[in-house]
Structure 1
Amino acid sequence: MPNFTQIIEEMKEAQQQGNDNALDTVRKKYIEALSEYTGRNTICYYSSFLKNGQQPNIDITDRDKNYFMATVCGMDSSKGLDLLLHTPGGSVTAAESIVHYLNAIFDGDIRAIVPQISMSAGSILACGCKSIVMGKQSNIGPFDPWIQGLSCHNLLEEFQKASDRIKMAPHEQALWNKIIEKIPPTLLLRCEHAIEMASLIVKKWLTSNMLKDQADKEQNAENIVSLLNNPSHTKDHGRHIHMDDAAEMGLIIEKLEDDQDFQDLVLSVHHSFMITLDNTTISKIVENQIGACMVAQAK
């Protein structure tokens, strides 16, 4: 199968032959080839966050539900779904709603494929599937929630640290009060609820789908959640969790390298999307193997 450079040349050749939609033509060809090889439906969810992480329409939002509704239309749901994910994350509740919708359509027969990166709420999407396909280059990430650009865990930890220091060293009260005054009490409560909600959502999906046949599914799900929703373990919200680490946590991981033809097809699809995003003003694409394609523009 072609590598990144060869796909660029293929697109250039199509343009030279007068194909005004060369990017779309090549991308669709590889999506169709992947779906034909697996015998499964394929939906690709791609964000241009690596090109510009500050542009609009790159995160997971409720708007995406409409994109999935459009791309699911006309599919034979009995064939299951392969969901290719490339996203920085976004709304936890939007991810929950998307997982609920897709699992209802495909009766839980969804396989997440992460060719490169699916972070934060993107990891929640992956955890809602029956398995996650990852290669040596693939990463998921922690899903510890943030509010107003701040880590919920860190806010609660800082407030607790300030409270403890005031008790232990009353002479430092004036210093720590300045920190406490910047944290509205309602924000702390929202943080507690957000952390609890994220954990409950992921544990529910894991026990009802990915881990459902395991005798100790409750404990295994709890362990996964305790690691992915815990900055004390991951240290950074942007921490890249690789294939072997994800499997060690207890997630059901399929190795992309186990099937060379499958790997070539997945990476060809991935490269064609990355080339499209790098050479257009598109910020997000949701596309399937039967020709439906929904896009959001960065401008």
Structure 2
Amino acid sequence: MEIFFQLFWLFFILSVLSPYLQQQLLYGARARKIAELERKRRSRVITLIHRQEAVSFLGIPITRFINIDDSEQVLRAIRLTDKSVPIDLVLHTPGGLVLAAEQIAEALLRHPAKVTVFVPHYAMSGGTLIALAADEIVMDENAVLGPVDPQLGQYPAASILKVLEKKPLAEVEDQTLILADVAEKALRQVKATVKGLLLRHLPEERAEAVAALLSQGTWTHDYPIDVTQAREMGLPVSTEMPLEVYELMDLYPQAQGGKPSVQYVPLPYRGEPAGGRR
């Protein structure tokens, strides 16, 4: 019986420590892959990757967004980078806090050497704002950016202003009027920020038009801007994605709460497999 209890406690301890140990091994693998990419490109590589990861002892998934902690860390990495050293930012995010995204974007904009942002899958909202600060945006052929129109709580700022257009002021609640005032300021501020970033690549008139397109509620906030559309806007987009970026993304697995919903043989297929189209 005593042996049984010893085995039970040993199993319990290993079960508790296993997620932590796996996470530490993953951190080491990420650091090695980042160093490999830095040697290849002779640059400082920074990652800003937000997935739902199991980060605690018990493996509880935590969803992450751009926040002040992110901006502090990215700004520190930029400060530690010599002005002559290029910066490569691997970006994978649904967005987040506007203040944090603006801080990162402005810091990248001020870096004298070339700044490249890699978007292997998506960089929405605040992620797009950061990407606009780059000298070059390298996107996977199927990757997307998104609008940067500000959101006030659960409502788009542009939609709040629509209320004032459709209802007499006497019928609008005071709280809505206050929100509309804040929304107007937010839209103006974000547009000015976006225009300032775009002036690096576009003439003023074009920068003004694209800034309005991206920031004034033209689309829903989750509207996908693909490579073709980004190029039509005049953004400096390339699709020459280094293999190491994909390999790095593989080291940021999505937390699985149950059986995986997508399965495939994780090997490259060359030519046409058996049973292909005729």
Residue equivalent to 1:248:
232
Residue pair 1:26, 1:272 contacting (<8 A) in 2 also: yes
Q: Label 1:162 to 1:20 Cα distance change in 2 as closer, same or farther (>3 A).
A: closer
Question: In the TM superposition, what are the counterparts of 1:19-98 in structure 2 within 5 Å?
Answer: 21-49=24-52, 58-72=64-78, 74-98=80-104
Deviation larger for 117-126 or 220-229: 220-229
Give the drift of 1:149: 1.7
Is the partner of 2:47 in helix, strand or coil? strand
Q: How many equivalent residue pairs?
A: 232
- Check if 1:268 corresponds to 2:260: no
What amino acid is aligned across from residue 27 of structure 2 in structure 1? D
* 1:108–1:130 contact (8 Å) kept in structure 2: no
In the TM superposition, residue 63 of structure 1 has moved relative to its aligned partner by 2.5
Query: Would the alpha carbon gap of residues 267 and 203 (structure 1) be closer, same or farther in structure 2, given more than 3 Å must change?
Result: same
Instruction: Confirm or deny: 8 A CA contact 2:52 2:255 kept in the other structure.
Output: no
- Contact preservation (8 Å) 1:114, 1:133: yes
Following superposition, the deviation at residue 190 of structure 1 comes to 0.6
- Given that 2:93 and 2:127 are in contact with CA atoms closer than 8 Å, whether structure 1 keeps it comes out as yes
Q: Unaligned stretches of 5+ in structure 2?
A: 1-17, 55-60, 258-278
> Does 2:137 match 1:145?
no
User: For residues 149 and 237 of structure 2, what CA distance do their matches in structure 1 show?
Assistant: 21
Q: TM-score with structure 2 length normalisation? A: 0.74
User: Structure 1: how far apart are the matches of 2:209 and 2:162?
Assistant: 21
CA distance in 1, matches of 2:120, 2:83: 23
Q: Which residue of 2 aligns with 1:3?
A: none
Deviations 1:77-112 (A, max 9, x none): 3121011111111222221122223333x2262111
Identify unmatched segments of 5+ residues in structure 1.
Answer: 1-14, 167-172, 281-299
**Equivalent residue letter for 2:232:** E
1:227 equivalent to 2:232? Answer no
The letter of the residue matching 1:82 is D
Shift of 1:278: 2.7
Check conservation: 2:46, 2:77, Cα contact below 8 A.
yes
Q: CA deviation at 1:195?
A: 0.4
Task: Tell me how far 1:206 sits from its aligned partner.
Answer: 1.5
Structure-to-structure mapping, 1:149-298, within 5 angstroms: 149-163=154-168, 177=171, 180-181=172-173, 183-207=175-199, 209=200, 211=201, 217-232=203-218, 234=219, 236-256=220-240, 262=242, 264-273=243-252, 275=253, 278=255
Question: Alpha carbons of 1:56 and 1:269: their partners in 2 closer, same or farther (altered >3 Å)?
Answer: closer
SS at match of 1:44: strand
C-alpha RMSD over aligned residues = 2.8
Q: Tell me how far 1:182 sits from its aligned partner.
A: 6.9
Q: Spell out, residue by residue over 1:111-154, the C-alpha distance to the aligned partner (whole angstroms, 9 max, x if none).
A: 11111111101111011111211111211100010112211101
SS state of the match for residue 224, structure 1? Answer: helix
In 1, are the aligned partners of 2:66 and 2:101 still within 8 Å (CA)?
yes
Seq. identity, %: 25
Q: Distance in 1 between matches of 2:129 and 2:23?
A: 37
The 8 Å contact of residues 224 and 251 in structure 1, kept in 2 or not, is answered as: no
TM-score normalized by structure 1? 0.69
Deviates more, 1:77-86 or 1:67-76: 67-76
Distance 2:28 2:53 in 1: 23
Distance 1:269 1:192 in 2: 40
In the TM superposition, residue 189 of structure 1 has moved relative to its aligned partner by 0.9
**CA deviation string 1:229-275 (max 9, x = no partner):** 2333x2x1011111111111111101135xxxx2x1111111212x2
Tell me, in whole angstroms, the C-alpha distance in 1 between the residues paired with 2:183 and 2:236: 29
Tell me the equivalent position of 1:107: 112
Q: 1:23 to 1:111 in 2, by over 3 A?
A: same
Which amino acid counterpart does residue 138 of structure 1 have in structure 2?
A: A
Give the AA of the match of 1:268.
E
> In 2 relative to 1, CA 19–205 (structure 1 residues): closer, same or farther, beyond 3 Å?
closer
Are the equivalent residues in 2 in contact too, given 1:108–1:129 (CA < 8 A)?
A: no
Cα distance change, pair 19–138 in 1 and its aligned pair in 2 (3 A): closer
Offset, 1:160: 0.8
Q: Tell me the secondary structure at the aligned position of residue 187 of structure 2.
A: helix
List 4+ stretches of structure 1 deviating above 6 A.
Answer: none
